[in-house]
Amino acid sequence: MFSWLGKQGGGRERGGAGGDVVQTVTGGLRDLYLRKLLPLEEHYRFHDFHSPALEEADFENKPMVLLVGQYSTGKTTFIRYLLEQDFPGMRIGPEPTTDSFIAVMYGDSEGNVPGNALVVDPKKPFRKLSRFGNAFLNRFMCSQLPNEVLKSISIIDSPGILSGEKQRISRGYDFCQVLQWFAERVDRIILLFDAHKLDISDEFSEAIKSFRGQDDKIRVVLNKADQVDTQQLMRVYGALMWSLGKVINTPEVLRVYIGSFWAHPLRNTENRRLFEAEAQDLFRDIQSLPQKAAVRKLNDLIKRARLAKVHAYIISYLKKEMPSVFGKENKKKELISRLPEIYIQLQREYHISAGDFPEVNKMQELLETCDFTKFHSLKPKLIEAVDNMLANKIASLMSLISQEESNMPTEMVHGGAFDGTMAGPFGHGYGEGVKEGADEDEWVVAKDKPAYDEIFYTLSPINGKISGISAKKEMVTSKLPNSVLGKIWKLADCDGDGMLDDEEFALAKHLIKIKLDGYELPGTLPSHLVPPSHRKPLQTAE
């Protein structure tokens, strides 16, 4: 997709016009940030309040997936399932085993890089994590290994979340702040739940709240769903949605993938088809990350720019309200207590959405330690530069991204578990629905044709065919909508004469059965479903 997919971690490089486009988009993002946005951030101390400055590696790195969940929900096993091999530093067990953040990334040879060494590597996007101190860095490592999946994405495994205040304090670093740092930079956040462990602890609740503003990145996986039967699974799913609704305050319902993500036999097979479909949807979502990485990075830059603008308005307002000589400390306390009112005032004055403002309690806490007299007044030129970037420059980059996507082959994640779901008899949907009989010599409809023939001859065929009116009387008994039946008619009427012979009628009944079984109808009739008596004329017409 971008150069960070081609030149880092053993990815495929591309040359020619397509490679030029990649370099242009990557350079465009970095150039916009350095020239337009960074001066505004530095002038109003944005990095002290919200997020550290972006570096080269932040623009060049591969898409990242962050796994978060309580202990023993299968986070590390999920990574093992995707990679189909162990990775250095991996520990799996029913007790809380993963006590570190592990960045699983591509490397030419297997090995671990400790946190203190990792944050000084300019090629890795983790340098700004050094601000969390040794307590965190001693619990942070990079696990490198040569794996096809990791050529396209990197995966961040997080410590299992426990309940109780003691565990939160004993970490020695601000766990939620670290999660927030990763959330701002990853492409996908996957929350894992165990079908037997749906309670959301206080720390897990705080962790989810730290993802505020990143809701579009969040996906939920209900793991180990094969350990319950269908009736229990319905109750578990309902309980999970209820628990999430109390923590995640969004009008949209989060996408929940249900399955058992490990390479062991299913304990309960009655929902096998559901698990396969859900796994396929999740794999498709992860596989698309390299293709969408450019738009995601652009979207994150826009969100950052909007927050930086609001921050500038807040800081400059506080500076303007400060007295020049006496009563500075009392005025500071008054302004901090009035911050919610100041937010409303700035919303009205600059026509800003309330959702663009930082969390008021956190902002009040950070302002307590600041010297307001050292803040800067509003500089319209810095604001205008960011407005120009949002109004004009971003549109140019979007057109470049569209050009890149049209000129270059689609970049997908390959290898590991992803290859096992793409093709062959064990691919999702193989031999089911419309695809049934695709690899057989005999016409798949033939096995049910005697039963269909009995119905056909009760409809009084003339010269071996029934009219549309006669066919309709039988087809509407399926209770399918007319729009669906109309499509089935078009597919079954192979010669387009407005009538159906016995084979065409049998085909129509077969397509109705496919639809009633919950499968989709094809846009055009596959060659293996064409009735035998209609195949030769069809080939001649071609």
pLDDT at 13: 38
Domain ranges in the chain are: 25-51+295-407, 64-288, 438-534
pLDDT at 4: 36
Do 270 and 180 touch, CB atoms closer than 8 A?
A: no
State the Cα–Cα distance between residues 222 and 237, nearest whole angstrom: 8
Do 145 and 103 touch, CB atoms closer than 8 A?
A: no
pLDDT at 448: 93
pLDDT at 542: 42
Look at the block and give the residue holding tokens 């030149």: 7
User: Residue 524 to residues 45, 492, 513: CA-CA distances in angstroms?
Assistant: 60, 10, 17
Backbone angles phi, psi at 486, to 5 degrees: -65, -40
Cβ-based neighbours of 521, under 8 Å, separated by 6 or more: 434, 484, 487, 488, 491, 511, 514, 515
pLDDT tens sequence across 369-389: 999 999 999 999 999 999 999
Q: What is the CATH number of domain 25-51+295-407?
A: 1.10.268.20
**Residue 197 reports pLDDT greater than 80:** no
pLDDT at 11: 37
Element (H, E) at 34: none
Average pLDDT, the chain: 85
Q: Specify the amino acid at residue 474.
A: E
State the Cα–Cα distance between residues 361 and 366, nearest whole angstrom: 9
pLDDT tens sequence across 427-453: 556 678 888 888 888 999 999 999 999
**Residue 255 reports pLDDT greater than 70:** yes
Question: Residue 512: is it exposed, middle or buried by C-beta count within 10 angstroms (0-12/13-18/19+)?
Answer: buried
Q: Two tokens at 333?
A: 């306390």
pLDDT at 6: 35
State the Cα–Cα distance between residues 343 and 350, nearest whole angstrom: 11
- Tell me the CB-side half-sphere exposure of residue 225, using CA atoms within 13 A: 28
pLDDT at 422: 55
Q: What is the CATH number of domain 438-534?
A: 1.10.238.10
pLDDT tens sequence across 114-141: 999 999 998 899 999 999 999 999 999 9
So what CATH class is 64-288?
alpha beta
Neighbours of 18 (CB within 10 A): 14
Backbone angles phi, psi at 161, to 5 degrees: -85, 130
pLDDT at 476: 94
- Average pLDDT in the 490-497 region? 93
State the Cα–Cα distance between residues 51 and 47, nearest whole angstrom: 5
What percent of the chain has a predicted confidence (pLDDT) above 70?
A: 87
SS3 257: strand
